[in-house]
Amino acid sequence: MAEISFHAILSKTSGTTMKAEETLEGRKVLILVDSGSTHNFISASLVKQLGLKVSTLPSFGVQIGNGQ
């Protein structure tokens, strides 16, 4: 099961997270780097706005750092 920290859900920094402004496909985006999470996520709306290609994968569960 994938794990994502509670800080990542809230987009808040902590001892294991940091925010950075980067350029992706020519557009400035705010990213959250979280060493406490096992996977990386991007919103569907940002994928659409940037015209990124996506691959369909089997679904999987995600557990938040607070156990939910």
Residue boundaries of the structural domains of the chain: 2-50
Residues 3, 37: contact at Cβ < 8 Å?
yes
The Cα–Cα gap between 14 and 59 comes to 28
Instruction: Please report, for the chain, how many H helices and E strands are present, in that order.
Output: 2, 4
Ranges of residues in the chain whose predicted pLDDT is under 50: 1-3
pTM score > 0.85 for this model? no
pLDDT of residue 12: 61
